[in-house]
Amino acid sequence: MEKSNDTIQRRQVAIKSDIKTLINSKYVKEEGWLPNYIITSFGDKISRINILAIVTMINVSNDSLIIDDGTSSIHVRFFNEKVNISDIQVSDVVQIIGRPREYNEEKYIALEIIKKTNPKWLEIRKFELKSRKPQEIVIEEASVIEEVVKGNSNKLYDSLLSIIKELDLGEGADFEEVISKSNVDNTEKTINELLTQGMIFEIKKGKLKIL
């Protein structure tokens, strides 16, 4: 029996990156349902990307915008009619989650999610990426979330986000205290997923904050 697109479609972890790294990466096209990806200079394979940047241009008629994070700029295109940018304006700092794509040897991002964020997170993200050690990020089967179970994953995330928000009195929520208070299975793994997807940030060792 042929599987439906909804069953086969998987949502890879959105890897944090800067625009310069994306642009300088090699683009690889896969066959069939396998996702296309970029290979960075670190050897990372990224099929879904998480970028913080400033909106420098919006072209609604062309379903695109341009973002700049200080390292470079890139076009972001939104083919999904569910994507709503009506509240996004030029000069807004936004978090972009999407898929790296290439057309006529020019890279762009196919937009999945866009949301405004506090400008201070731009500096934090720059520090975070600068301090990251080169390593290969392997998107393993255990790290992908099928669309059919997305709702359950969101419930786990929401539960942990609520605990982090409750425990954060300004200096971040203590990692061990979050684990102690949580009833979520594999809490540490779920926290790592939230960190990887950019939903929370370790403001200093052992202290978690919501992005």
Q: Which structural domains are found in the chain, ordered by start?
A: 10-131 (2.40.50.140), 145-210 (1.10.10)
Decide if pLDDT at 143 tops 90: no
What does the DSSP 8-state code read for residue 147? G
pLDDT of residue 197: 64
CB 118 within 8 A of CB 141: no
d(CA 52, CA 21): 13
What does the pLDDT look like over 77-134, one tens digit per residue? Answer: 987 666 778 889 999 999 999 999 998 889 999 998 899 988 888 888 888 887 665 4
pLDDT of residue 151: 44
pTM score above 0.95: no
Q: Give the separation between CA 40 and CA 90, rounded to whole angstroms.
A: 29
- Give DSSP secondary structure letters for 17-78: --HHHHHTSEEEPPSTTSPPEEE-TT--EESSEEEEEEEEEEEGGGTEEEEE-SS-EEEEE-
pLDDT digits (tens, 9 = 90+) for 192-203: 777 766 678 777
C-alpha 16/C-alpha 191 separation (Å) is 15
Q: What is the pLDDT of residue 51?
A: 94
- C-alpha 66/C-alpha 68 separation (Å) is 7
Check the CA dihedral 181-116-118-128 and report its sign: positive
